[in-house]
């Protein structure tokens, strides 16, 4: 060849690519490589052909195309070419030109645009749902992707279901090399299969089925064009006016997809479905297909209606809004698909109706393409149905219920929506447990705050659980803990006035909140979330208890209550009683509080109580109860302990009233003990003296016996009260309080303690009878004391007089007179006689007293044995240890039942 530049074929090829594609060298790399591959595989030229043969072929072709003039022109040109000797292989260029020639009558093929349309991935915006491609053969999808990292991991693909259809489509020239290899027929169903397997989507299937016929392959250039032409001619017959064409139906369907009534397919409100108009002249199969497709429109309407309604609802709340937003995004993806279909339709319109079969939208194609979207819309519509009328945590629970499905596709969709929906709830939760703040205008969170409650009842009443709003993925235990944490923080801020920032208090790092967080939460729900809540709970509660104990000495106050109100500090109580005795025998109306307070302080200073901390002693005080007529001081006196601030949360007003009742009871019992010791003292002091009045011995003996009985009784009662009731319960309380993890535990333990004491001290309503009996016993003791006092007075008086008499007698004898005159002696005799007569009266009085007392005690015992409390039953054993009362009381003879209880006979 005489041309000056002998460039290498590669360079030429590259230039060719640049020219045809109209781009610079760098951009054509891909295509260039492809070209090289193709041509390089077959560089050896084919069979040498004759130049004249080729020229003849061209002429024939031109004549066939009815271009005789052009044929003549060509002959001329060929002759000229032939005469020039420049080219060596004239035939080759002629052949090439022939193969590249195109019939001017043939329509420009729209095939390429069509394939390209679906070969391109749609522009990837922030898509809604990650499309989890859970198919077994997750092979790389195209030539380019083969080098890319394989199998899309969850969340990384980030495209919606609709556009992912195109992702598995073909891009550009990728699949074409195979069919171009020489020797392969252009039909190549095997290739279609292989590609089908690779891509695995129905769309690719339809595409590859079309591909082979779309390509104009090598040796079939002319016949192919011929075939295409004939086919298009055949297609031209459709479009009769009577029958509704498939194209019209397709147009209608595209409207129906958006929820708008088409010309032939309309929404029938009575049956709530889309129906094809009966009069339309349609084949049954088309009608059925159309109706099936219309379901998509129905689903779309349902979802749209819900979101539209909800967007108008002002009180829907954050959770509901995020739900609607998620639905809206899904619908947006759906709209994208619709717009793609629409533009396809548009393209067809622009080119005229008579197109090849391959490039039009048919109902069947729509069916296949909308299969996946239909599943999505179905899931969404089911969700919408389920979530009607719910909001807040309830809505989240409803969505959560739908994640329990085996279908991984549906599960991923619903989980995505769930993570969006639960994000507001989680943000509420985090704010609550880390800051103690609750900003819940629509009442969606499961912690409710009552604004009318003041700070003194903050712990008990202000915050409650809204049970309906607890989402189903948060357990009851967790929600209680959450409530407690926030409550503690608020308590610290408002009641304890402790403004320590939570950052210092809580060592847990606060994770960034994002929807991704919410999604993670559900996959790893057990550990991360529970861990967070537990950590926050431990830290907050520990801190709260520390503050209460150190700053407010809660436990110290509890012990102080025990010592003073529950008569734990024996020496102090004793001394107090000693000092108060002369005051309290006076009528109640004459008592003055300041006097009593002064006595209290004296008692404190004189005993071990003085070593208590001044904080505690400050709170100790005297309280005078309401005065009823006839009360003595003993009936109205009470100690009191002032509580305020955080301590009042544990020692509420109710608790304090319980304490006072118990104090009253214990104080009375103590007083009885005191009285009896006085009686005993009296006995011992006067016994010697009264030995010289022998008449008295009977009376005194009776007195002693009765007193002993009473002492025994009171002794047992005191033992019971002190050991069985107070000490045991206190021990339990103390253990619980030491081990308590949060304030609720302490409050609960304390309440249990008080309840036990109250019921065991016979102060609750079920033991009223017993209590009355006991009071009666106490009254008898007081009676005895009075009686005894009277007896002693008389006796001592008598003794005094006798002594006086003896004195006088001695005096007279010393003076030398008669010791005693007859008249004096007589007088004396008379007096002694009178005295002796009064003794039986005293005896009988005592006997009555004894009898009365014993009756009361027996009644008490009977009641005890029929009580349900075990310790009271044991008390009855101890009281009647030597069966002294049993001998007298026939009712006590009844044997005990199998459970150690006597049935109630009263």
Partner 1 sequence: LAGHGVEARAATNMNAVRDTMDVLLEISRILNTGLDRETLSICVRLCEQGINLEALSSVIKELRKVTEALKAAENMTADFLEKF
Q: 178 to 237, contacts with partner 1 by CB under 8 A?
A: 180, 182, 216-219
Long-range contacts of 785-790 (CB under 8 A, 24+ apart): 785/675, 785/678, 785/679, 787/703, 787/842, 787/845, 787/846, 787/849, 788/679, 788/682, 788/703, 788/707, 790/842
Q: Taking a C-beta distance cutoff of 8 angstroms, is the pair 112, 172 a contact?
A: no
Q: Taking a C-beta distance cutoff of 8 angstroms, is the pair 830, 737 a contact?
A: no
Judged by CB under 8 A, which of 24, 26, 44, 269 binds partner 1?
Answer: 44
Q: Can residue 504 be called a binding residue for partner 1 (CB under 8 A)?
A: no
| 712 three-state secondary structure | helix
Cβ nearer to partner 1, comparing 186 with 462: 186
Return the range that interacts with partner 1 (CB under 8 A); candidates 1-9, 157-165, 478-486, 867-875: 1-9
What dihedral do alpha carbons 399, 405, 407, 409 form, nearest 10°? 20
Cβ nearer to partner 1, comparing 179 with 317: 179
Judged by CB under 8 A, which of 99, 589, 741, 786 binds partner 1?
Answer: 99
State the minimum distance, in angstroms, from the CB of residue 321 to partner 1.
22
State the minimum distance, in angstroms, from the CB of residue 95 to partner 1.
6
Instruction: Show Cβ contacts of residue 538 under 8 Å, excluding neighbours closer than 6 positions.
Output: 741
Return the range that interacts with partner 1 (CB under 8 A); candidates 81-89, 369-377, 650-658, 733-741: 81-89
State the minimum distance, in angstroms, from the CB of residue 112 to partner 1.
5
Return the range that interacts with partner 1 (CB under 8 A); candidates 119-127, 255-263, 563-571, 876-884: 119-127
Q: Single out the residue of 847, 842, 843, 882 nearest to residue 861, CA to CA.
A: 882
Cβ nearer to partner 1, comparing 122 with 377: 122
Query: Cα(110)–Cα(490) distance, rounded to whole angstroms?
Result: 71
Size of the site for partner 1 (CB under 8 A): 75
Query: Cα(742)–Cα(724) distance, rounded to whole angstroms?
Result: 28
Cβ nearer to partner 1, comparing 101 with 716: 101
| 72 three-state secondary structure | helix
Judged by CB under 8 A, which of 25, 53, 63, 112 binds partner 1?
Answer: 112
Q: Can residue 63 be called a binding residue for partner 1 (CB under 8 A)?
A: no
* Torsion region of 684: left, alpha or beta (phi above 0 gives left; psi -120 to 50 gives alpha): alpha
Judged by CB under 8 A, which of 19, 497, 605, 888 binds partner 1?
Answer: 19
Query: Cα(566)–Cα(558) distance, rounded to whole angstroms?
Result: 11
Q: Can residue 260 be called a binding residue for partner 1 (CB under 8 A)?
A: no
Return the range that interacts with partner 1 (CB under 8 A); candidates 117-125, 275-283, 295-303, 895-903: 117-125
Which DSSP letter does residue 87 get?
Answer: -
Positions 122 through 161 that interact with partner 1 (CB under 8 A): 122-123
Positions 317 through 376 that interact with partner 1 (CB under 8 A): 336, 339, 343
Instruction: Give just the sign of the alpha carbon dihedral 378, 384, 387, 393.
Output: positive
Q: Can residue 173 be called a binding residue for partner 1 (CB under 8 A)?
A: yes
Instruction: Show Cβ contacts of residue 493 under 8 Å, excluding neighbours closer than 6 positions.
Output: 436, 499
Judged by CB under 8 A, which of 26, 50, 80, 905 binds partner 1?
Answer: 80
Q: Can residue 121 be called a binding residue for partner 1 (CB under 8 A)?
A: no
Q: Can residue 46 be called a binding residue for partner 1 (CB under 8 A)?
A: yes
Q: Can residue 70 be called a binding residue for partner 1 (CB under 8 A)?
A: yes
Q: Taking a C-beta distance cutoff of 8 angstroms, is the pair 191, 179 a contact?
A: yes
State the minimum distance, in angstroms, from the CB of residue 322 to partner 1.
22
Cα 568 to chain centroid, rounded:
45
Judged by CB under 8 A, which of 35, 337, 381, 414 binds partner 1?
Answer: 35
Helix (H) or strand (E) holding 358: none
Q: Taking a C-beta distance cutoff of 8 angstroms, is the pair 458, 494 a contact?
A: yes
State the minimum distance, in angstroms, from the CB of residue 27 to partner 1.
10
Q: Taking a C-beta distance cutoff of 8 angstroms, is the pair 256, 262 a contact?
A: yes
Positions 510 through 569 that interact with partner 1 (CB under 8 A): none
Return the range that interacts with partner 1 (CB under 8 A); candidates 28-36, 485-493, 515-523, 891-899: 28-36
Judged by CB under 8 A, which of 15, 321, 718, 845 binds partner 1?
Answer: 15
Instruction: Give just the sign of the alpha carbon dihedral 548, 553, 556, 562.
Output: negative
Query: Cα(403)–Cα(418) distance, rounded to whole angstroms?
Result: 8
Q: Can residue 116 be called a binding residue for partner 1 (CB under 8 A)?
A: yes
């Amino acid at each position: 060849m005489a041309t000056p530049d002998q460039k290498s074929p590669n360079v030429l090829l590259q230039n060719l690519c640049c020219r045809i594609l109209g781009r610079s060298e760098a951009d054509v790399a891909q295509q260039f490589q492809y070209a090289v591959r193709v041509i390089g595989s077959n560089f050896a030229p084919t069979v040498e052909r004759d130049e004249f043969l080729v020229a003849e072929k061209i002429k024939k072709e031109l004549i066939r195309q009815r271009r005789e003039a052009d044929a003549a022109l060509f002959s001329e040109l060929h002759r000229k070419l032939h005469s020039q000797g420049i080219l060596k292989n004239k035939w080759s260029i002629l052949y090439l030109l022939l193969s590249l020639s195109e019939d001017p009558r043939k329509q420009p093929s729209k095939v390429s645009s069509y394939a390209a349309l679906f070969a391109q991935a749609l522009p990837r915006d922030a898509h809604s749902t990650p499309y989890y491609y859970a198919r077994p053969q997750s092979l790389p999808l195209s030539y380019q992707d083969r080098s890319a990292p394989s199998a899309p991991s969850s969340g990384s693909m980030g495209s919606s279901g609709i556009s992912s259809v195109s992702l598995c489509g073909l891009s550009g020239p990728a699949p074409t090399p195979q069919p171009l290899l020489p020797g392969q027929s252009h039909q190549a169903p095997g290739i279609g299969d292989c590609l089908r397997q690779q891509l695995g989507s129905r769309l690719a299937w339809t595409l590859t089925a079309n591909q082979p016929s779309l390509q104009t392959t090598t040796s079939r250039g002319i016949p192919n064009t011929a075939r295409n032409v004939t086919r298009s001619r055949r297609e031209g017959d459709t479009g009769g006016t009577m029958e509704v064409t498939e194209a019209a139906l397709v147009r209608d369907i595209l409207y129906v997809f958006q929820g708008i009534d088409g010309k032939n397919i309309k929404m029938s409100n009575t049956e709530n479905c889309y129906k094809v108009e009966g009069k339309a002249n349609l084949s049954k199969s088309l009608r059925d297909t159309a109706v099936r497709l219309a379901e998509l429109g129905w689903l779309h309407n349902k979802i749209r209606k819900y979101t539209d309604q909800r967007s108008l609802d002002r009180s829907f709340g954050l959770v509901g809004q995020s739900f609607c937003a998620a639905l809206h995004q899904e619908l947006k993806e759906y709209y994208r698909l619709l717009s793609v279909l629409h533009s396809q339709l548009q393209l067809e319109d622009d080119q005229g109706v008579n197109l090849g079969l391959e490039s039009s939208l048919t109902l069947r194609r729509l069916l296949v393409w909308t299969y996946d979207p239909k599943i999505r819309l179905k899931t969404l519509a089911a969700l919408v149905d389920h979530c009607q009328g719910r909001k807040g945590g309830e809505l989240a629970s409803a969505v959560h219920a739908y994640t329990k499905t085996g279908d991984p596709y549906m599960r991923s969709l619903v989980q995505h929506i769930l993570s969006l929906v639960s994000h507001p709830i989680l943000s509420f939760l985090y704010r609550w447990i880390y800051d103690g703040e609750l900003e819940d205008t629509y009442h969606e969170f499961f912690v409710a705050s009552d604004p009318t409650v003041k700070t003194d009842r903050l712990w008990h009443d202000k915050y409650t659980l809204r049970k309906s709003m607890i989402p189903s993925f948060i357990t009851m235990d967790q929600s209680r803990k959450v409530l407690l944490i926030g409550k503690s923080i608020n308590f610290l801020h408002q009641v304890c006035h402790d403004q320590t920032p939570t950052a210092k208090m809580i060592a847990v790092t606060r994770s960034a909140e994002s929807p991704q967080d919410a999604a993670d939460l559900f996959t790893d729900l057990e550990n991360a979330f529970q861990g967070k809540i537990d950590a926050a709970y431990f830290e907050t509660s520990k801190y709260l208890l520390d503050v209460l104990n150190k700053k407010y000495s809660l436990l110290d106050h509890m012990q102080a209550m025990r010592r003073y109100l529950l008569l734990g500090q024996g020496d102090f109580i004793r001394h107090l009683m000693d000092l108060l005795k002369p005051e309290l025998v006076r009528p109640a109306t004459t008592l003055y509080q300041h006097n009593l307070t002064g006595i209290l302080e004296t008692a404190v200073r004189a005993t071990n109580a003085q070593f208590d901390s001044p904080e505690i002693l400050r709170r100790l005080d005297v309280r005078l109860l309401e005065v009823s007529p006839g009360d003595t001081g003993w009936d109205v006196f009470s100690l009191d302990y002032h509580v305020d601030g955080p301590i009042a949360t544990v020692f509420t007003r109710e608790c304090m009233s319980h304490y006072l009742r118990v104090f009253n009871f214990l104080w009375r019992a103590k007083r009885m003990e005191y009285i009896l010791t006085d009686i005993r003292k009296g006995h011992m002091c006067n016994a010697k003296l009264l030995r010289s009045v022998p008449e008295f011995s009977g009376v005194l003996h009776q007195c002693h016996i009765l007193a002993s009985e009473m002492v025994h009784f009171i002794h047992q009662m005191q033992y019971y009260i002190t050991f069985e009731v107070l000490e045991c319960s206190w021990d339990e309380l103390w253990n619980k309080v030491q081990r308590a993890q949060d304030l609720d535990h302490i409050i609960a333990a304390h309440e249990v303690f008080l309840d036990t004491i109250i019921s065991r001290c016979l102060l609750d309503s079920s033991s009223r009878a017993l209590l009355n009996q006991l009071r009666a016993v106490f009254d008898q003791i007081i009676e005895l004391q009075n009686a005894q006092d009277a007896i002693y007075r008389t006796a001592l008086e008598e003794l005094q007089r006798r002594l006086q008499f003896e004195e006088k007698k001695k005096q007279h004898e010393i003076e030398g007179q008669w010791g005693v005159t007859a008249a004096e002696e007589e007088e004396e005799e008379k007096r002694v006689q009178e005295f002796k007569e009064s003794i039986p009266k005293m005896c009988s009085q005592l006997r009555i007293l004894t009898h009365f007392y014993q009756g009361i005690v027996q009644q008490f015992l009977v009641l005890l044995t029929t009580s349900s409390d075990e310790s009271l039953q044991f008390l009855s054993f101890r009281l009647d240890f030597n069966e002294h009362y049993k001998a007298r009381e026939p009712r006590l003879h009844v044997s005990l039942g199998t459970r150690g209880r006597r049935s109630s006979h009263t």
